[in-house]
Structure 1
Amino acid sequence: MKTRLPSLPTVLTAAALTLALAAACVLALSGPATAQAPAASAGPKPALTVKQVLAQSSTWPQTLSATGSIAAWQEVIIGAEIGGQRLAELKVDVGDRVKKGQLLARLSPGTLETDLAASKAALLEAEASAREARQTAERVKTLQGSDALSPQAIDQALAADAAAQARVAAARARVQADQLRLAYTQITAPDDGVVNARLATPGALVQPGQELFRLQRQGRLEWRAEVPGPELARLKAGQLVRLAPSGAPAVEGRVRRVSPQIDTQTRNGLVYVDLKAGEALRAGLFARGDFVLGESPALTLPQTAVLLRDGFSYVFRIDGSKVRQTKVQVGRREADRVEIRSGLSAGAAVVESGVGFLADGDTVQVQK
């Protein structure tokens, strides 16, 4: 029996297939290792470029914050002293600054001038009668002890003199009263100040005690701060107050008086603060203020370095190329800086800004 050998083309084809399979196996084994090598050598890329800032120790004023309204130091109600007269003329309006004794309004005198003239005439008549009675009394006194006049006639002459002098006094009082009533037609300012309100109307019939103007005495304003009762003991007259009125520039003031009692509803007490005069200040403005109690050391950072998250405050400490989220407790604020009461030590390096884009453990590049 003869054995048949494979032909040469068949042998070559089988060899080519074997080589192709071997090459595919080599590529399959070496490909992943080759692809992973560059990725492993590249390393993680920084997430964000940041600038660092150091926590600084400084001395800050110790303050107590409060809110309240600005009001007139004293407000005087100016009214009519007499009634039944018409308002003839108004000299001032709301917002005018006036001096003590300045004429604000004038009432029509009506019959007051005539009444005064009649009273003066009556006084002259009473004085003439009194002079005559006095002369008679003097003559009678020289005849006392003689039989020229009876004791009864002498007593009558002396009594007539006394009555005449009393009538003079009464007539003089009527003249003074009529002069005062006539003076009341001139309504003047009781003190320097600013006219806050004008309720008078020209031509109106004025009644006694009717309010015509309201005067802010001396143009002075005060801040009436509402302070919690337990904090009142920390305040005293003369302390500096820094005030930030709503819609007006910041001003300074001094504590004038601390209320001796506390409101039973709010449990707050009033503190009266004298303010420096300013064109932008108005009675009725709401204001926030800080009572300066003294000074104390403070560890501070820029406010941009503090992140408020889930009701807590955090900073991001720089640890090499990583950042670590650190919980802190904040306190006072001054301009663009905030006090760090706990959670951080002086000189600690933290991220200055852009903290809202960071997470704990992020890789960063610190800007030099």
Structure 2
Amino acid sequence: MTALNVRPATDRRGGIRRGQRWPARCLELLRNVSLRKSFMTFAVALFAAALVFPSRDGLAEQVAAPALTVSVTTPAQRDWPETVPASGWLKPWQEAIIASETAGLRITDILVDVGSVVTKGQTLVRLSQDSALADLRKQEAAVVTAQANLAKAKANADRARQLRSSGALSVEKITEYLADEQTATASLASEEAALDSTKIKLAQTTITAVDDGMITSRSAELGAVVSAGTELFRLVRQQKVEWQAEVSARYLPRISEGLKVEINGADALSVQGRVRLVGPSVSTDTSRAIVYVALPADVRPRVGLYVTGNIELQATPALAVPETAIVFRDGINYVFIADGDKRVRRVRVETGRRNNAEVEVVSGIGPSSQVVKSGGAFLSDNDVVKIAEKD
């Protein structure tokens, strides 16, 4: 059919009146234009979708990209001792009080101070010796007099013994001479004892250390007149310091002499000790007992420090992982377990003892679990990882 170049009748709005029809060729041309527009619109939409949404293979590759390269390990079986927490004061093993034994003498010399290390018999303080020396000379003279009296009485007694059988001396006189001899002998012994006492008092004017140790306090003042029993110094015997650790009474049946103790020192260094004595009584206020811990001879911490530590009881098995494997989030401990598909799974665990950069895992994992050693803080549950090394 030949196309007619005629315009169909339209209504006022430019539309085709009802009942009017386009010629067939015109309808075919319009149909082809509409199809081209639809095809172009579909192609543009398909291209845009390809840009926005990757292919299934590309999406799989993107998902499979590892989040982190990690090393995994299996928990180690350890035999760790069970520990009892304790705290207490560092105090002297034994403390000696050095005091004056004489009265009424003045301090003339002070030869040591707080912190001085002294040896047994070393002179610490000197007192005035003038009166003691005068008493010594007086008593020495009294001894000489007593010796002379004894010599005279002895001569008379010897003569009386020789003349007893001759009758030249009466029995009464002989008895008197013999009694004078005994009195002179006793008098000499008394004066010699008084001389020894005077020498002791003279020796007491020099105050010495009663044992090896270190001076921890000083009350002596130069020029002070002391009385008998006046405390002048305090001495830590042999410089031995012990830890008086307070522990709960429920642990006492399991604590015995010789157990190993680890003390956390004030300078962040640990000190090893041994239980020396378990206190026989329990405080009624705190229900705690004192355990006396002996320190090594070469360890001399400051007396008076309050420290904490642990008393090691019998060893028990422990399932241990490195400290770096533990992830602490929201007050809960977790570890990440690597599965066969190279994904990690976050598992909640309960921890226990710690030793040598390892932590005991009480529950949550088994001995064959593949635990991520470190880097767990950067992982999330179900992440894909690359395993670099396996212990």
Coarse TM-score class (shorter-chain normalised) = 0.7 to 0.9
Amino acid at match of 1:114: A
Looking at structure 2, the residues matched to 59 and 114 of structure 1 have their Cα atoms a distance apart, in angstroms, of 74
Matched residue, 2:54: 38
**1:269 Cα deviation from its structure 2 partner:** 1.4
**1:172 Cα deviation from its structure 2 partner:** 1.3
Amino acid at match of 1:66: A
Amino acid at match of 1:75: E
Map Cα deviations across residues 188-226 of structure 1 (whole Å, 9 max, x no partner).
Answer: 111111222222222222222222222111121212111
Matched residue, 1:361: 382
Map Cα deviations across residues 11-43 of structure 1 (whole Å, 9 max, x no partner).
Answer: 687446523543266348746764575254313
Give RMSD over aligned pairs.
3.0
Amino acid at match of 2:367: A
Matched, 1:221 2:241: yes
* Contact map agreement 1:82 1:184 (CA 8 A) in 2: yes
**1:228 Cα deviation from its structure 2 partner:** 1.5
Determine which of 269, 278, 285 is the counterpart of 2:305.
285
**1:354 Cα deviation from its structure 2 partner:** 2.8
Matched residue, 1:211: 231
Once the two structures are superposed, the pairs formed by residues 268-283 of structure 1 within 5 Å of their partners are 268-278=288-298, 281-283=301-303
**1:115 Cα deviation from its structure 2 partner:** 0.8
Map Cα deviations across residues 228-260 of structure 1 (whole Å, 9 max, x no partner).
Answer: 112122222222223321115333222211111
Aligned-residue identity in percent:
37
Looking at structure 1, the residues matched to 119 and 300 of structure 2 have their Cα atoms a distance apart, in angstroms, of 21
Matched position secondary structure for 2:309: strand
Structure having the higher Rg: 2
Looking at structure 2, the residues matched to 301 and 117 of structure 1 have their Cα atoms a distance apart, in angstroms, of 82
Matched residue, 1:95: 115
Matched residue, 1:18: 34
Looking at structure 2, the residues matched to 192 and 344 of structure 1 have their Cα atoms a distance apart, in angstroms, of 57
Matched residue, 1:85: 105
Looking at structure 1, the residues matched to 50 and 207 of structure 2 have their Cα atoms a distance apart, in angstroms, of 105
Matched position secondary structure for 1:203: coil
Amino acid at match of 2:35: L
Matched position secondary structure for 2:88: strand
Looking at structure 1, the residues matched to 320 and 32 of structure 2 have their Cα atoms a distance apart, in angstroms, of 78
Amino acid at match of 1:58: R
Map Cα deviations across residues 117-136 of structure 1 (whole Å, 9 max, x no partner).
Answer: 00110111112112222332
Determine which of 91, 110, 135 is the counterpart of 1:115.
135
Looking at structure 1, the residues matched to 209 and 120 of structure 2 have their Cα atoms a distance apart, in angstroms, of 5
Matched position secondary structure for 1:339: strand
Matched residue, 1:200: 220
Looking at structure 2, the residues matched to 18 and 109 of structure 1 have their Cα atoms a distance apart, in angstroms, of 135
Once the two structures are superposed, the pairs formed by residues 128-139 of structure 1 within 5 Å of their partners are 128-139=148-159
Map Cα deviations across residues 324-363 of structure 1 (whole Å, 9 max, x no partner).
Answer: 2222222211121111122221131112223234343334
Looking at structure 2, the residues matched to 168 and 13 of structure 1 have their Cα atoms a distance apart, in angstroms, of 162
Matched residue, 2:260: 240
Looking at structure 2, the residues matched to 352 and 27 of structure 1 have their Cα atoms a distance apart, in angstroms, of 52
Looking at structure 2, the residues matched to 118 and 248 of structure 1 have their Cα atoms a distance apart, in angstroms, of 63
Matched residue, 2:354: 333
Amino acid at match of 1:178: T
Amino acid at match of 1:23: F
* Contact map agreement 2:326 2:334 (CA 8 A) in 1: yes
* Contact map agreement 1:56 1:347 (CA 8 A) in 2: no
Matched, 1:251 2:271: yes
Amino acid at match of 1:121: A
Amino acid at match of 2:345: R
Looking at structure 1, the residues matched to 215 and 252 of structure 2 have their Cα atoms a distance apart, in angstroms, of 34
Looking at structure 2, the residues matched to 367 and 63 of structure 1 have their Cα atoms a distance apart, in angstroms, of 36
Amino acid at match of 2:285: Q
Matched, 1:260 2:280: yes
Matched residue, 2:211: 191
Matched position secondary structure for 1:26: helix
Q: Give the length in aligned residue pairs.
A: 366
Map Cα deviations across residues 33-56 of structure 1 (whole Å, 9 max, x no partner).
Answer: 645752543132544443322212
Matched position secondary structure for 1:175: helix
Matched residue, 2:11: none
Map Cα deviations across residues 116-172 of structure 1 (whole Å, 9 max, x no partner).
Answer: 000110111112112222332343345558765555444443333333222222211
* Contact map agreement 2:240 2:300 (CA 8 A) in 1: no
* Contact map agreement 1:81 1:209 (CA 8 A) in 2: yes
* Contact map agreement 1:85 1:110 (CA 8 A) in 2: no
